[in-house]
A and B are shown apart, each in its own frame.
Chain A
Amino acid sequence: MSIFSSKNFKLLSSPLNLQNPITVQILGICSALAVTVKLKPAIVMGLSVMVVTAISNLVISAMRNYIPPRIRIIVQLVVVATMVILVDQLLRAFVYDVSKQLSVYVGLIITNCIIMGRLEAFAMGNKPWPSFVDGIGNGLGYAMILIVIGFIRELFGSGAVLGYNVVPKSFYDFGYINNGMMIMPTMALILVGVIIWIQRSFNKELIEKD
């Protein structure tokens, strides 16, 4: 199997839409609500999860035949925890202010259901390279939703994008006020709902039959 076969490409692209971890599998919602008040932490969080998922997938897949099934969860957790600590240290070293804003949520990547889900469902039964691609794909799918939500929340909640004020001052003079609801996690949940709504109206096969 070549490195960029169509099968591998599908691993990368399906989490972006039909298998999206947030909007279809409804995993990792908690962090998606918590870190998306501003766009920058959302991007950093998305990238961190992507790196952790991809490398954990790679490592676990490489040793999948040597892990005794009875203690596999412990082994997976050790690998994930190691990766999270590495990422946390890197963030503190290079983007300290964002690391401060993310606070406990970087550490909580360990408990992110997406990562455990991919390790259990994919890395334990596939070769290292596809596992790595699968990790990148799921991380991207997660990051994509975070970035969309973070963008909307920062734009309407703080009138800025990436910290730069984009709503012109004349708007405020006319009586425009930033929407305080956007700062609250409530609105993030509603935004996730809206994204799911839009996605399903384009992909009818996602709609459950009842």
Chain B
Amino acid sequence: MKSLRKFLDNKKPLFQKGGKLAKFGSTFGAIETFLFTPNHTSKSGVHIHDAIDLKRTMTVVILALVPAMLFGSWNIGYQNGLAFGIERGIIDNFIFGFLKLIPLLVVSYGVGLGIEFIAAQIRGHEVNEGYLVTGILIPLIMPVNIPLWMLALAVAFAVIFGKEIFGGTGYNIMNVALLARAFLFFAYPSQMSGDSVWIYDLPNKVPIDGFSGATPLGQIGQGAVSKMASFHDMFMGFIPGSIGETSIIAILIGAAILIFTGIGSWKIMLSVVLGTLSMGFLCNLFPLNDYMALPGYYHLVMGGFAFGTVFMATDPVTASHTEKGKWIYGFMIGVLVVLIRIFNPAYPEGMMLAILLMNVWSPLIDYFVVEGHIKRRMKKAKLKANA
């Protein structure tokens, strides 16, 4: 450790103002703060000192994602075994899946961080931790068969057009990870939906008889409600789907971590669930087709709903900021998810589009909430003045 510190201290003048490599100052800063606790202290004005900074926030979110990631790795192996009739133990399934997941993680981080570093260099900013969570979220919402070059393209698109052109971390209006998924969904629909993309190796090999590989959302979209997995299986996550989204249990552990540490807003999570349930049960009242007759609570365990609710809708940058706004924002996401799933057969999964749409609306919600506050308080002030 000491020798590393010494090495960095030796090289530091090179990267500071006037040094030979001053251009790469932010890269050096990023590596230094990655390795050691930064020793800057604020020098002017009044500051609130808090143990939590951007880096710690991100670290907690990554910790919360670990259960979903571990389960996702296992499920890749398990589903592959189911498809081709291979028996493997839990550990073998996990290792099999983890090895498939690693290239996706490497590409996601390589491309995304590369762009972040370049953008910070051009702007002369410090490199910040904004991509750490996005980089792990993106592979977890992809089908396992996604070609690596597509993933790289989507990451580049999302980071450049979703984040950097708005000014970098904290300025994006839409969730970067979902933008990457939306890009792939519209650019390469054949690789992002259908029955064969969710299970490793399925497009290349012939599965055993009777195996379809369709996700519950896919099956219900085709009207095959009877073939759908049981509620229990969907809750546990023994179903095909995007890598990290299948297991509700793993995601609930993550949700508990986020809520306990106060990083994810429980108001948003709760209101998304409430919105989905109310719209789901409303559809149950008018069961015109199988999908509308499906019990409303099924929407909570299907597709990317849980993952989106816990990790995407609560993104502090793109969600509503006012407390009242959070309820409206979350509730509308829930309503839209069910609407898109049931009434738009072209998009079997509504979560991505619902969250992206509400991301765009959230500043407007905040605006009206704040205006409402101002109006109310003006009224009060006037009443007092008159009294």
A190 at the interface (CB under 8 A from B): yes
A184 in contact with B186 given A190-B161, A197-B165 (CB within 8 Å): yes
- Report chain B residues within 8 Å CB of A181: 183, 186-187
B191 at the interface (CB under 8 A from A): yes
List residues 186-213 of chain B with CB under 8 A from any CB of chain A: 186-191
A125 at the interface (CB under 8 A from B): no
- Report chain A residues within 8 Å CB of B147: 175
Nearest CB to that of A179 among chain B residues?
A: B187
- Report chain A residues within 8 Å CB of B189: 180
List residues 169-204 of chain A with CB under 8 A from any CB of chain B: 175-177, 179-182, 184, 186, 190, 197
Nearest CB to that of B148 among chain A residues?
A: A175
* Nearest chain A CB to B267 CB, angstrom units: 32
For the A-B complex, the count of residue pairs with Cβ-Cβ distances under 8 Å equals 21
- Report chain B residues within 8 Å CB of A197: 165
1/0 contact string of B172-192 vs chain A (CB within 8 Å): 000000000001001111110
- Whether the Cβ atoms of B183 and A177 lie closer than 8 Å is no
Report how far A184 CA is from B191 CA in the complex, Å. 18
Interface centre among B149, B186, B187, B191 (most CB of A within 10 A): B187
B interface, size bucket: 10 to 19
* Nearest chain B CB to A23 CB, angstrom units: 16
Question: Which residue of A177, A182, A190 contacts B191 across the interface (Cβ within 8 Å)?
Answer: A177
Report how far A182 CA is from B189 CA in the complex, Å. 13
- Report chain B residues within 8 Å CB of A184: 186
1/0 contact string of B309-346 vs chain A (CB within 8 Å): 00000000000000000000000000000000000000
Nearest CB to that of A156 among chain B residues?
A: B187
- Whether the Cβ atoms of B191 and A180 lie closer than 8 Å is no
Question: Which residue of A179, A186, A190 contacts B188 across the interface (Cβ within 8 Å)?
Answer: A179
List residues 282-314 of chain B with CB under 8 A from any CB of chain A: none
* Nearest chain B CB to A56 CB, angstrom units: 37
Report how far A197 CA is from B191 CA in the complex, Å. 31
* Nearest chain B CB to A49 CB, angstrom units: 28
Nearest CB to that of B147 among chain A residues?
A: A175
Report how far A181 CA is from B185 CA in the complex, Å. 9
- Whether the Cβ atoms of B165 and A180 lie closer than 8 Å is no
Report how far A207 CA is from B161 CA in the complex, Å. 19
A177 in contact with B186 given A190-B161, A197-B165 (CB within 8 Å): no
* Nearest chain B CB to A113 CB, angstrom units: 26
- Report chain A residues within 8 Å CB of B191: 177
B residues neighboring A (CB under 8 Å): 147, 149-150, 161, 165, 183, 186-191
Q: A175-B147, A181-B183, A186-B186 are in contact. List 16 more A-B contacts (CB 8 A).
A: A175-B149, A176-B149, A177-B150, A177-B188, A179-B187, A179-B188, A180-B186, A180-B187, A180-B188, A180-B189, A181-B186, A181-B187, A182-B187, A184-B186, A190-B161, A197-B165
The 6 closest A-B pairs by CB, nearest first: A181-B187, A179-B187, A181-B186, A180-B187, A175-B147, A177-B188
Can you list 14 A-B pairs with a CB-CB distance of less than 8 A? A175-B147, A175-B149, A177-B190, A177-B191, A179-B187, A179-B188, A180-B186, A180-B187, A180-B189, A181-B186, A182-B187, A184-B186, A190-B161, A197-B165
